Amino acid sequence: MAIEARNVGKNFGDFVALEDVSVTVGDGALTALLGPSGSGKSTLLRIIAGLETPDTGEVLIGGEDVTHSPARTRGVGFVFQHYAPFKHMNVHDNVGFGLSVRKRPKAEIQDRVKELLGLVRLDGLASRYPSQLSGGQLQRMALARALAVQPQVLLLDEPFGALDAQVRAELREWLRRLHEEIHVTTIFVTHDQEEAMEVAEQIVVMNKGRVEQAGAPRDLYESPANEFVMSFIGPVNRLGDAFVRPHDIQILAQDDGTGTEALVERVVHLGFEVRVELKLHDGRDIWAQVTRENAQELELREGQILSVRLPSPRVFAG
Amino acid sequence: MSFRKLGVRTIALGYLALLLLAPVAMIFYRTFEHGLSPVWSSITQPNAVHAFWLSLEIVAIAVPLNTAFGIGMALLLERGHFRGKAVLGTLIDLPFAISPVVVGLSLVLVYGKTGWLGDWLAEQGIQVIFSVPGMVIATAVVSLPFVVRETMPVLRELGIDAEQAAETLGASAWQTFWRITLPGIRWGVVYGVVLTTARALGEFGAVSIVSGRIEGQTQTLPLFVQDRFENFDPTGAYTAAVVLALLALGTLLAMNLLTRRTHRKVAA
């Protein structure tokens, strides 16, 4: 089911959470709402789910105006940031809840729960209580619970936010594969650009209650619409009004007259990537990203004076 | 154990012993001083039996009423957004602040023969004052705040995420309340109910005024205790007092067992 938000506005008292936001998500797509905290991304997600009512604008799911429909009739699966487990129920009853309130027969619920626990790899944990599960397991239980009622739309609020780095990486990969398998239209909220780039097919960049840009991850990276998108997606050097990507800075082995003189202030080895902090001859600080091999060839040392070639910088109007 | 710790314990236990344990123990001792047969004849006399059942009847009506009201009011105060919420929150505590005797008198002023609603009630053939309805009302008023006050903090801690999750899964407001909210706040409610029951069983002042203390008709157990005491029947008074104490103890014990069993189930 395609999702569309049209000119949505929402205020909380004096705080403008969303201002004239329009977003379109295609049927079966996997989309990230990306932005810093307070950008309105979670509010937009909750408005799509029906957990908040917009002050202005409309929400359409599958072409149907659901702006004033209650959450429970929207056919939306929602995974909360802190999973919102039903603490007094075991995993089986949590996952089966949506079917149980629909008064489905016990045998059917049993089968469906079993199938879903297999899908989220929680087999054998059906009789555990939420207090006995790890963060990653709770996350997957919450996902199974949302999927049990076969939602037309799956919404996830900061799905990996509260997990440690390794579990995060695993779940990202797994979410992407799950989406390939079940192909339900999915939107997730994140403040982590790397996460958005890795998982999503489409990214909507939000800032201060507005959409800055929407598009495929690669398009956003290669042709950012403005300063905010450029600096939020991927690393960036700021030179006055202009922006330069650190990996676009070339460090020259020999000064051939085309480069600018720079002093190496610090060399940081981050595994494959090496980060070189430089001071240009005019006193501006800048950093470059080179590969490990490249750094070795150039024999980079602190205090060294070398020559760099800057790409033509990007300047955004206004 | 350090000296200081020992000192604190001695003072705390000594205080408790002087104020509570010793008097209660004395009641038990006095009751059974002359053996079981005077006790038996005391508790089987018709007025005592009547007082016993009347007390239970009042508790059986007032406690469920206050439980339902208390949960509803806690939800309203914790989840609602409306003008005058702070004022309402303060009003709820009023029965704690006002003396039960004043509560009784004010009920007579409203529901009594010469009261506000007196004429209308008389026309409908309903007698509130000097009868069971008035006693139930008086009991409900003095024990009103317990369930509200015990439920509110638990409700706050529960948060609204689980309820919203239930909503997105298709649960109606009613299903969400019974299957998510109520189980989530049950310990607060249970504790509130225990306190309400204990208070309702023991209520004297307000009930004393609205009941008219008619022997065998509007006499609850606490009123019966006082009546026996004033009529030079110490055994009767002590026996009824012991029954009251046992009822209260029974309530505490039952709730304790109930919570423990359910706790184990959740933890298992």
The pair of three-digit structure tokens given for residue A311, joined into one six-digit string: 């790409």
Question: Is A202 in a helix, a strand, or coil?
Answer: strand
- On chain A, the residues whose CB falls within 8 A of the CB of B173 are none
In chain A the domains, ranked by start, together with CATH numbers, are: 3-231 (3.40.50.300), 237-310 (2.40.50.100)
Mean pLDDT of A89-98: 96
For residues A251 and A306, the answer to whether their CB atoms sit within 8 Å is yes
For residue range A102-145, list pLDDT tens digits in order: 999 999 999 999 999 998 889 999 999 999 999 889 999 999 99
Provide the pLDDT for residue B1: 59
> Distance between CA atoms of B163 and A216, rounded to whole angstroms?
35
Which pLDDT belongs to residue B267?
Answer: 44
Residue B268 pLDDT: 38
Across A184-201, average pLDDT: 92
ipTM of model: 0.85
Q: Which of A147, A146, A184, A188 is nearest to A168 (CA)?
A: A188
Amino acid present at A223: S
Exposed/middle/buried for residue A220 (C-beta within 10 Å: 0-12, 13-18, 19+): buried
pLDDT band at A318 (very low <50, low <70, confident <90, very high): low
Asked if B162 is an interface residue toward chain A (Cβ–Cβ < 8 A), one would say yes
Partner-chain contact A84 B267, CB within 8 Å: no
- From A43's Cα to the closest Cα of chain B, the distance in A is 14
Q: In a mutagenesis test of the B interface, which of A52, A79, A88 is the best target, namely the one with the most B β-carbons within 10 Å?
A: A88
Tally A–B CB contacts below 8 A.
69
Q: Which two tokens stand for residue A70?
A: 């209650």
- What's the mean per-residue pLDDT of chain A? 91
Q: What is the pLDDT of residues A148-174, one digit of tens each?
A: 999 989 999 998 877 788 888 888 888
- What integer is the mean pLDDT of A42-66? 95
Which is higher by pLDDT, A18 or A285? A18
Rounded to whole angstroms, the Cα distance separating A189 from A161 reads: 10
> What superfamily would CATH give domain B36-267?
MetI-like (1.10.3720.10)
Flag if B164 and A84 touch (Cβ within 8 Å): yes
Residue stretches of chain B with pLDDT short of 50: 265-268
- Residue to mutate among A42, A86, A95, A100, with most B CBs inside 10 A, is A86
In the prediction, which pLDDT does B261 show? 62
